[in-house]
Structure 1
C-alpha cells in the first residue's frame, strides 16, 4: 500500500488549498457543460456526462519510464480553450506487486496523487486509466487467477489515492484494451467492477470491450448491472491513414506516407503512393492500402465504422465515450488529419458521446512540435463547433 500522509491537519490543509485553487480556476475558465445530451436518458449523472464531452490523453505523464508532467501553462491553455477532461494512463506494471517493488509503486502512486491535485485545481475532470503493457497482457492471457489478483491489488492502491479527491470529479477506467477473449472478459470485468465499486462507491466507472475496444466489438459486450458506468471505444480507422509512417520500420504502415483522407482510388496522390509501393515490392503495405481504398468507397465510411456502437447505445441507453482517436502527424497531410479529426468529433457529438483525443505531446499529439503550444488547426478541428 502507498505511504500516504494520513495526519488530519495535513489532509485538511491539502483539501482547503485544493478547494480554493479549484474555485479560482473554475471562475476564470469555461465550466464543463451540465449535460452533453439532454434528449438521451443515461444512467450516469448528467454533469459527469458533460465533463467527458471533450478531452485529451496525457500519455507519458504517469505511464512513461519517468513521470514527466505537461507544463501548467499548457494545461491551463487547453482548459481555457474548452477542454474539460483528461484521460491519465497509468502503467499497470508500475503499480502491480508482481511487476514492481513497493518503493517504485509508492513513488508512482504519489505521482498520480500530485497529477490529480494539479488537474483538479485547473478545473479538469480526470479518468484514471489502468493501462497495461506486454508483461501484464501476457499474464492476463495465460493465468486468469493471478492476473485478476493483480488488477484487484492495483485498484486497491489506486482507490486509496482517488478517495482523497472529490468522487464526482474522477473516473475509474478498469483496464485499457483487454487482450483476451470476449466471453472471459465479460465475466472478469463484472467481477472487477464489483470490487472497485466497493472501494469507490460514488465513482463513475469506465469499461470497454476487447479487440482494441473497436466499435464493432461493443455489440457483443453486455452492459454491467452497475448503472454508474460509461462505455469506452477507440477509433483509428482507416489504419492505413491514421497510422501511416508507423514508428516501427518493420510495420508495413511505415512505408505509407502522404496518404490523403478521404481515400479515393482515382486520387492522383493515392495512385502515386500505390505505384511506389508496387515498384518497391512492399506487398504487405500495398495490401493494407488496397483494403483502405476498398473500404473508403462509401463516403459515409466513418458512420459505417461507428454504427455498431451507435446501435448498441440505442438498444441499452448507456453513455459512450471515444476516449482514444487520433492520427500520426509526421507523415499525414495536415489538412487530411484535421478533416478526419473533425469528422470523428462531429459524429461523437451527434450521438451524444464524449471524446478524448490521443494524445497530447507525442506522435499523435495536439501540441505543435515546433512551438510547444497547442496546434491551432487541431484545436479548431476538435473544438470549432463550440
Structure 2
C-alpha cells in the first residue's frame, strides 16, 4: 500500500510539472498551447529575400511529409521584402497567394499553423541581406503595423488552428520597451479583425528566455509567448560560414550542457508560473556541419526536456542548413527524425 501511494504521489508530481500555467489566458488559448505538441519550421523558403535564394522552395509534397509525424508547423515569411517600401506596406498579391498555398495546405491536414513576420532585418537595426531592399527608417515600425493589418484581414476567416506570430526574434534597436510598445500597437491592429485568434509574442534578444522578465505582454487573453533556445550556442552554430566566431570543435552533450538546456527551460517555466502566459519553444536545432550523432542527441535532449515541462516546440528546421529532412536524397535524416519523434 505504501508503495502504491508513493507511486501515485510520484505520478502526480510529474503531472504537475508538465502543466503550464494558463492563469492569464482564455480556456481556448490554454487548450491551443497544450495541443501544439511536436512541430517543425518550414524555414529558408518564404523567409528568404526571394523564394529560392537560400536553396529551398515550397513543394506541396512537403505537406504530406510533415503532417504525418508533426502536429504543428511554423511558416516563417519575409513579408517586408514583398511589400511597398512606403509606410502603407501594401503586400504583393502574387507573393501573398504563394503564402496562402502553404497555409492552406497544412490547415487542410488538420495541423496547427503558425505564420509570422520573419527577417524584417532593418526593423531590428541589422544590415539587409542580399536581395533585400532598404526603406526609410522613419516608416519601419508603421510598415510592421500595416503589414499585420493586411495579414490579419486576409486570414480573419481561417480556422482557429491558424496562429499569428507578430515578429520573429526582435532584438537590437527593439530590445526592451521599444518592442513592448510596438507589440501592443501591432496586436491592437490584429484584434480589429481577429478578436480571439491565438497570437504569439516573444521577448527581445532574439526571443531569449532570460529576456522574459522584460517582456510586457499586452492585456490579452489569447496570447502565447514564443521562446527560442540554441544553447550551447558555440555547439549548435559551429562551422557556420557567416559566423566565423563559432569554429568547428565543440561537442555535446555533457552534464554541463544538459544542465544549461534544462536550466533555461526551468527559467521559462518559472516565468510562466508567475505570469500565467503559456510558452512555446519556437526554435532549436543544430547546423548541418555538426556531427550527426551529436545533432541527434541534442535534438532528443531538448525535445525531452521541453515535453517534460509541457512545452510545445517547433524544430528548426525542415530542410536546408539546420534541416531534419534532406532535399538531396528526398528523405528524412533518420537519426534526427527518430530523436524528435520516437
Same fold (TM over 0.5): yes
SS in structure 2 at match of 1:123: coil
Question: Residue 175 of structure 1 corresponds to which residue in structure 2?
Answer: 167
The answer to whether structure 1 residue 137 and structure 2 residue 124 are counterparts is: yes
Question: What is the aligned counterpart of 2:280 among 318, 321, 329?
Answer: 321
Deviation of the 1:112 alpha carbon: 1.3
What is aligned with 2:331? 373
Query: What is residue 59 of structure 1 aligned with on the other side?
Result: 43
In the alignment, structure 1 segments of 5+ residues that lack a partner are: 1-36, 264-295
Match of 1:93 among 70, 80, 96: 80
CA shift in 2, pair 1:145/1:192, >3 Å: farther
Higher relative contact order (CA 8 A, sep 6+): 2
1:362/1:39 CA distance change after superposition, 3 Å: closer
1:248-293 residue CA offsets vs partner (Å, 9 max, x unmatched): 2x6221x324x32025xxxxxxxxxxxxxxxxxxxxxxxxxxxxxx
- Tell me by how many angstroms 1:103 deviates: 8.7
Does the CA-based 8 Å contact 1:125-1:170 persist in structure 2?
yes
Q: Distance in 1 between matches of 2:51 and 2:88?
A: 16
State whether residues 139 and 147 of structure 1, in contact with CA within 8 Å, keep that contact through their aligned partners in structure 2.
no
Q: How far 1:72 sits from its partner (Å)?
A: 3.4
Q: What aligned pairs does 1:1-386 form with structure 2 within 5 A after superposition?
A: 40-41=21-22, 43-44=25-26, 45=28, 46-64=30-48, 65-66=50-51, 69-81=57-69, 83-98=70-85, 105-138=92-125, 146-166=139-159, 168-179=160-171, 180-248=174-242, 251-253=244-246, 255-257=247-249, 259-263=250-254, 297=256, 300-330=259-289, 332-384=290-342
Cα drift, residue 367 of structure 1 = 0.4
Specify whether residues 351 and 297 from structure 1 end up closer, same or farther in structure 2 by C-alpha distance, changes over 3 A only: closer
Taking a change above 3 Å as real, the CA distance of residues 333 and 158 of structure 1, as seen in their structure-2 partners, is same
Partners of 2:126 and 2:234 in 1: CA distance = 30
The 10-residue stretch of structure 1 (112-121 or 355-364) with the greater mean CA deviation from structure 2 = 112-121
**TM-score, normalising length: structure 1:** 0.73
Task: Name the CA distance, whole Å, in 2 between partners of 1:100 and 1:374.
Answer: 42
TM-score (norm 2): 0.82
Taking the aligned partners of 2:238 and 2:125, their CA distance within structure 1 comes to 27
Q: How far did residue 144 of structure 1 move?
A: 8.2
